Amino acid sequence: MRPVEYAEVSASVSFRQAFTMLRRRYLLILGMTVLGSIVGLFLASRTPATYQASAMIRLAGERQTLTGAEEAAPVLGRTADPLLSIVELLRSRAIAGVVVDSLGLQVASRTPEFSFEDLVRVQVDPRAAGDSVQLVFGESEVKATRGERVVTAPYAQLLNLGVVQFAVRSNPGVETATLGIRPREQVIDGLVAGLLVSRREFTDVIDVRYIAEDPRTAQRVVNSTVQAFQTLNVQWARERSRRRREFLAEQLGQTDSMLERAQAELSSFRSRQQLASSRDALAAEQTALLALDARREELDADRQTFSALLGRLKANDEASRAEALRALATSPAMVDNPAVGGLYQQLLRYQVRLDSMTTGPWRASPNNPDVVQLKSLARTTQDQLVQAVSSHVQAIDARVTALSGLRQRTGASMQILPAMAEEEMRLNRRVDALANMGDELRRDFQRARMAEAVEAGDIDVVALAPLPSSSLLSGAVLKLILGLALGLMLGMVLAFVLEALNTSIRRPEDLEAVLHVPGLAVIPRITSGPRNGQS
């Protein structure tokens, strides 16, 4: 006989079962959802309204345009994004500290009916903290009490309480109010945490936002932040320019002093050498030396020529002497030496007269007194010409000797002139380098002075924050949605718990689970309906 197999009862809940359960318990779920919504709505109504103010700034580079300086030469290959740097600077505690001090944000109202915006000209000692001020408002004046100090002043007049001073705009409509003084660092932390700074992609524009319960507070915080950053940006740039100007002024003074010493050394060197320029002197000496060598070679050639002519003039051969005389006639020395030229012309005249008397059909006899006289004069003139040529050769020798001495002296000076020229060149290079450096430093110094005087920075305020006209609903809506969701979830959980605790049998599976007997059939529900003619 085959044993009976029991159907396993599944512990999981099917979608149909869950849907059936939700349908049976929908009133409970709906009630819990409504209850959660009511709680969320109550919490949302208790949440104070918040306002967001937004300002816009951009990286304009106006200072660089005005000063003409090409800023920001790359430092060690830095690749930082300047806009991200500006974002971080806007979030810095330095900017937040300036805003806190300028607006007096250390003072906070502990009375909900009295707003901080009813105070003007608030100034707080940054070291003050943990103190309180009691205000009593009258019809035309306000009384402030801090410890044992009591000050009374009309509205809009300054109340000086020592570490804190402020003025009340007008009667706020309440009788009393309490002001608290918070620690400065705590206020700065809150401002830094609440300030929202973001850049717009692919632009040089940055948005600055702040959320506060009072719209005027949000507006003042945002505008004070961007204005403080713009002012500090100008101050930082001018401070950098001032330090650069002072550094350049110091370097310029040192360079001018070094230039004066270098110029004095150059002047002293030229005074000792009695030269305006060693380079020019060296060039002149080289030119003179070349001229001396050329002149000496020319005189040597003349000496050789005239020595040869002198030897031929002293020869006994008439033909050689005649040829020597003809060579002497074409020599350049005839122009340079008038004595030789004059004697040669005189000898030539005697020779012409003698030839005219001793030639022709009516020539004179050799014993003719005139012929004898002309021959005697010709020989005398020829002897004088030989002596003149000899004297000319001696003069050439003397000139060659003098040129040799001058050549030696010039060569001696040439030995020291290169060293002098090198020393002068070194001094000149030093003077030129210091002069160029001084000119460069003066240009940079003038740029630094201009940059220090420029009242502009690299940040432009495109738009200050307007007064927010509508509050933000994000906090209230979130609380309402959370209440609705929590009510719905709690209703569903309670519905499942009640279903689990209910032991009544509604399904065949429930019966099988209780009896541990498999169901063989399900008897349908019998209802009384209209008969169709069959029994």
Q: What is the DSSP string of 164-190?
A: EEEEE-S--S-SEEEEEE--HHHHHHH
Q: How confident is the model at residue 209 (pLDDT cuts 50, 70, 90)?
A: very high
Asked whether the predicted pLDDT for residue 523 surpasses 70, the reply is no
Nearest CA-CA partner of 226 in 52, 463, 466, 469? 463
Q: Domain locations in the chain?
A: 15-49+472-502, 278-453
Distances (CA, A) of 158 to 120, 155, 231, 315, 505: 9, 8, 27, 135, 82
Q: Which candidate, 100, 109, 93, 89, places its Cα nearest to that of 183?
A: 100
Cα separation, 254 vs 248, in Å, equals 10
pLDDT per position as a tens digit, 365-390: 777 777 778 777 777 877 777 777 77
Position 348 confidence tier, pLDDT thresholds 50, 70, 90: confident
Give tens-digit pLDDT for 416-442.
656 666 777 788 888 889 899 989 988
Instruction: For residue 388, give the amino acid letter.
Output: A
Task: Look at 77 and 329; give whichever has higher pLDDT.
Answer: 329
Q: What is the pTM of this model?
A: 0.56
Residue 133 φ/ψ, nearest 5 degrees: -130, 130
Sheet holding 459-463, edge to edge: 195-199, 205-212, 51-59, 459-463
pLDDT band at 6 (very low <50, low <70, confident <90, very high): very low
Predicted confidence (pLDDT) at residue 356 exceeds the cutoff of 80: no
φ/ψ of 93, rounded to 5, equals -70, -25
Quickly state the pLDDT bin for 222 (edges 50, 70, 90).
very high
pLDDT at 313 over 70: no
* pLDDT given at position 72: 44
The pLDDT-based confidence of 4 (bands split at 50, 70, 90) is very low
- Does residue 388 contact residue 337 with C-beta atoms inside 8 Å? yes
pLDDT given at position 223: 92
Residue-wise pLDDT for 259-284, tens only, equals 888 888 878 877 766 655 555 655 66
Q: What is the pLDDT of residue 533?
A: 45
With cut-offs at 50, 70 and 90, classify the pLDDT of residue 238.
Answer: confident
Question: Is the pLDDT confidence value at 47 over 80?
Answer: no
| Cβ–Cβ under 8 Å, residues 457 and 63 | yes
pLDDT at 285: 64
Please state, in angstroms and rounded to a whole number, the distance separating the CA atoms of residues 374 and 235: 115
pLDDT > 60? residue 2: no
28 or 339, which is more confident: 28
Tell whether the model's pLDDT for residue 63 goes beyond 80: no
Q: What local confidence, expressed as pLDDT, does residue 147 receive? A: 83
Q: Would you state the pLDDT for residue 213?
A: 81
The predicted-structure confidence for 110-166, as pLDDT tens digits, reads as follows 888 888 888 888 888 888 877 888 889 888 899 988 888 888 999 888 888 888 888
Across the range 22-31, mean pLDDT stands at: 77
Residue 330, pLDDT above cutoff 50: yes
Provide the pLDDT for residue 294: 76
Confidence of residue 534 (pLDDT cuts 50, 70, 90): very low
* Two structure tokens written together for 310: 């002198």
Q: 400 falls in which pLDDT band (50, 70, 90)?
A: confident
Predicted confidence (pLDDT) at residue 347 exceeds the cutoff of 80:
no
Query: pLDDT confidence of 335, banded at 50, 70, 90?
Result: low
Q: Does residue 221 contact residue 103 with C-beta atoms inside 8 Å?
A: yes
Mean pLDDT of the chain: 76
> Quick one: pLDDT at residue 66?
58
pLDDT at 321: 66
